[in-house]
Amino acid sequence: SFAAQHGHSIIPPVPSLFTFKIADKRLADLSGVSFTRVTAKLMLDGIQKSAPELTQTGPMLVTHWGLSGPVVLRLSAWGARELYQDKYQAKLVVDFIPDIHIEDVKRILFQHKDQHAKNKVNNAFPKEFGLVKRFWGFLLEQESLDGDMHWATVPKSHLNAMALRLKQWMFEVVGKGQFKDEFVTAGGVPLSEISLSTMESKKQPNLFFAGEVVLNVDGVTGGF
């Protein structure tokens, strides 16, 4: 209110840097599982065109209520205002093995089927994907595959479906993390209304600003 009294406009504050609550309750079974490198794309109704900043690559963590980690926190920062406007309803598309092309994922699965025909699918899975056993078991459940079945009996159609899911797994975001754990707030005095070299107001001489608390600037997370 002090800044507004001195002629500054105020961009309404909204939460930023928060975790995502995911609709699929079964994801809670993977709580604590982390991924060192995924690529996640946030899809929002308010943004029709492709926004590069809404696709992020890095570590991700599964929580009791959804998804967290640097990738999710960065997406929440870049999409903070649109997420707020959409009442934190969005789609999140995750590529769990971003460094392997989908055709190579299929090839690896087909080769694994041939080379491990007598092994159970839950005990022998491609190490090239860098996935933990708990997540692999979850993937099998999503594809309605019994972990005790042998690789030789897995239809190729299921292998193709698994490859697609690993590369384009879509999750429904239904809210922020349940503990109101956002780290910062976006919004405040627009940067265009201050001199960035001195932090002095362009509206009121000898009035200076400092910090995220009053300026429309909020940092993105760099890691855990």
Query: pLDDT tens for residues 124-150?
Result: 999 999 999 999 999 999 999 999 999
pLDDT score of 199 = 82
pTM here is 0.82
| Residue stretches of the chain with pLDDT short of 70 | 1, 46-50, 178-184, 187-188, 211-213, 215-224
Distance spanning both ends of the chain, measured CA to CA: 35
pLDDT score of 221 = 56
User: Quick one: DSSP state of residue 133?
Assistant: H
pLDDT score of 218 = 63
pLDDT score of 110 = 97
Q: What are phi and psi of 139, to 5 degrees?
A: -60, -45
- Residue 87 CB neighbours (<10 A): 9
pLDDT score of 177 = 77
Q: Which two tokens stand for residue 201?
A: 């107001």
Domains of the chain: 2-98+170-193 (2.40.30.10), 102-167 (1.10.8.260)
pLDDT score of 47 = 64
Distance CA 86, CA 21 (A): 14
Q: Which of 182, 146, 208 lies closest to 68, judged by CA?
A: 182
Cβ-contact 158, 145 below 8 angstroms: yes
Q: What are phi and psi of 115, to 5 degrees?
A: -80, -20
Residues, the chain, total? 224
